[in-house]
Amino acid sequence: MVGVRRWWPGFVVLSAIWGASFALIKVAVDAGVPPLWVACWRCVLGAAALWTILGLRRESAPRDLATWGHSAVAAVLLNAVPFVLFCYGETRVSSVLAGVMNATTPLFTLVFAVATVPEERHPGPRRLAGLALGFAGVLTVLGVWRGLGSGGTTGGLACLAATCCYGAGFAYLRRHLSARPHSATALSAVQITCGAAELALIAPFAAGAPHWPGAGPAAALLVLGALGTGVAYILNLNLVRGAGATVAAAVTYVTPLWSTALGAVLLAEPVGWNALLGGLAVIAAVALTRAPAARAARRRVRQPVG
């Protein structure tokens, strides 16, 4: 019981930060901040927070070109592209739906892990059933019976493409960066910095010069970057070390609850029956695909890299 009391507060705070990120994105895009600039500021502020934490801890950053090169690729898959896709998606759909779609990330991670990681090549019937259930849940959230031509469907598919990028990115991290000796904070700082540089090169040409969106949206961007893309990485690391990888992965089950509650209460967004039913199916699918690996995960706690 004492152990649970030690990690439980961090678990709740982390799930709340990541669940709130969708409402924060919605505030920014509704204020007229272009999706590219929302993603760019998120990475810039997140990198600033991570480098500050790195400096306070007096940790050294990786200097070898291989780590920076792999981190640049990871930043494309885990930051630059999916952040823009989620921001674009939320110009067309609610933060509630975006948060539910984000819960599909472990499903796509499994798909890419099966394709690229040798020890994951045989997923087994239980995991395959979970993937099928997750796919059905996605179709329910999208409301495919209404047709695929609406703006809402386009936004939902953009969010789904973002989680697909996450899945590819996590598989890439596992293969190329997870075994490196640097701390999670150091690797995360390098990765988010690469993402900030990539977006800063593109945003001025594709979205024009940045502008002041107002105090409220600016505060939303600050929290989204410094907390959601900075401090959250440290909380995740502490959770893995204090409670194990299996408990840390369970944050995925909780974040849609936060995003749904905050979107409905703070932004007055409607919560359709299909979003609730589909979201429950996706969460059940994630639990189903993770079940066979739970015992192995308890035996070896891996340090996350971002």
Least confident of 30-39, 249-258, 292-301: 292-301
- Rounded CA-CA distance 205/195 in Å is 16
Q: Round the average pLDDT of the chain to a whole number and report it.
A: 83
250-295 pLDDT, tens digit per residue, is: 677 788 888 888 998 889 888 887 888 888 888 888 777 765 544 4
Least confident of 22-26, 163-167, 248-252: 248-252
107-122 mean pLDDT? 72
Answer whether 263's CB lies under 8 Å from 269's CB.
yes
> What is the structure's pLDDT at 298?
45
Of residues 208 and 239, more confidence is placed in 208
Task: Please say if the pLDDT value at position 305 is more than 80.
Answer: no
- Residue given tokens 């599909």 in the structure block: 104
Answer whether 226's CB lies under 8 Å from 73's CB.
no
Answer whether 277's CB lies under 8 Å from 157's CB.
no
- Rounded CA-CA distance 274/193 in Å is 38
> What is the structure's pLDDT at 7?
73
Answer whether 169's CB lies under 8 Å from 78's CB.
yes
55-105 pLDDT, tens digit per residue, is: 999 998 898 999 999 999 999 999 999 999 999 999 999 998 898 888 888
192-213 pLDDT, tens digit per residue, is: 999 999 999 999 999 999 999 9
